[in-house]
Amino acid sequence: MTFELNCPVCLKPLEGDNKHLECPDRHSYDAAKQGYWNLLLANQKRSKDPGDNAEMVLARRQFLALGHYQPLADTIAQQLVSIVTEKPAPRILDMGCGEGYYTHRMHQQLELTSNDYQLAGLDISKHAVKAACNQTKALTWMVASGARMPVADGSLDLITVLFSRLMPDEFSRTLKPGAELLIAYPGEDHLIELRHLIYDQVRHSGFDPAAVLGAQFEALATESVRYTFTLPDQAQIAQLLAMTPHGWRINQAARDRLAALDHLELTLDVSLARFKRL
């Protein structure tokens, strides 16, 4: 189940053990004490500490642990297994894995069906990947750039992209011909009740992954995951707000409206889209 990595500098294969890796050009990497690989180069950083900070990661971990998104995680994991079930020794990458909530559920579902697979999680945030290591030590976790993933050309059977930026050229480079992308993105009614409380005018994104991926990918199917759930108290409302981008944009009047609530009923509306690399 060990995931084969490539050097982020030269993209040549990395070899070694679970403590140290080195490529033929002698670029070398040591595993962090938490068990992940830091394969993010200094010139790939747009800031000193890219990606989600420690506070954002903690807020997301706390909210996701409440189980409100568990049906979504289960559906994603089941779709993943259905895609790779007939593939011999599939190699799967969760790009933008965050704190590993969905990746861990993928791992649990794969363990029920197959022992011959490779699964890795990649995120640019070291805080997120450190948290992911606490989910399970059985997977390969790496801090790396999604714009230059440390995996070989045409080596992946599936990339999952859950609420993360799409990188069509890099996805096309690393996926095998005919291999798939599984993308999760918010539907138009996702957390619509919260958005109405925060914004004077709620706008629809109109996001279309096919328009971003272009001619390198063929759309196969899209499934909507939709259900309602209730946040029973102020603590959970605050946890949700802290983990979403809405929490960065909220003004004081909207914050006061939310503070007056003793519960909040919400709609989860997420689209799962499958694409094939041509």
Tokens of 130: 């450190």
- Considering just the CA atoms, what is the radius of gyration of the chain in Å? 19
Annotation: binding site for Zn(2+): 7, 10, 23, 27
State the binding site. Answer: 7, 10, 23, 27, 69, 99-100, 190
- Residue numbers in the known binding site for S-adenosyl-L-methionine are 69, 99-100, 190
Q: Residue 137: exposed, middle, or buried by beta-carbon count in 10 A (0-12, 13-18, 19+)? A: exposed
If you write DSSP's letter for every residue of 157-223 in order, what string do you get?
A: EEEEEESS---HHHHHHHEEEEEEEEEEEE-TTTTHHHHHHH-SS-------HHHHHGGGEEEEEEE
Task: Write phi, then psi, for 10 (nearest 5 degrees).
Answer: -115, -5
- CB-CB contact of 103 with 121 (8 Å): yes
